[in-house]
Amino acid sequence: MDKNTATSIFESLSSGVRLDVFRLLVKQGLNGMVAGEIATTLNIPANNLSFHLKAMTYANMVSVEQEGRYQRYRANIPLMLDVIAYLTEECCAGHPEKCAEMRMTSVCLPSVLPSITTDKSKV
């Protein structure tokens, strides 16, 4: 991931509404939700939600699929995992094994944290 892509993603999530939408869609996993369900669940006017979903779609944070007259939105979870990897790839100056104590206090799943290796040839 490059800096411009990461910046675009952060900008797309810089609104409280967009962050709420993304977190809701993450909870739904592969099922996603249609726009009306999102609006109802988060108590957001449809036209306001449409504006936010468009921005998130443009940033590739969500995907949209037409289902008859409805649009189903899904969180781009692989992209979010890439963002986490981008943010943490230089953890502890490229030596994530030095971050062991911080990892133990993190609520993140170990699978999304940088791998710990003591073999310097792999770092």
Residue by residue, what is the 3-state secondary structure of 66-115?
EECCEEEEEECHHHHHHHHHHHHCCHHHHCHHHHHHHHHHCCCCHHHCCC
- Same domain? For 67 and 104 the reply is no
Instruction: Quick: pLDDT tens for 10-59.
Output: 998 899 999 999 999 999 999 999 999 999 999 999 999 999 999 999 99
- Same domain? For 26 and 66 the reply is yes
- Same domain? For 106 and 65 the reply is no
Number of domain units in the chain: 2
pTM value surpassing 0.85: no
- Same domain? For 114 and 68 the reply is no
Which domain, by its residues, includes 30? 3-78
- Same domain? For 73 and 97 the reply is no
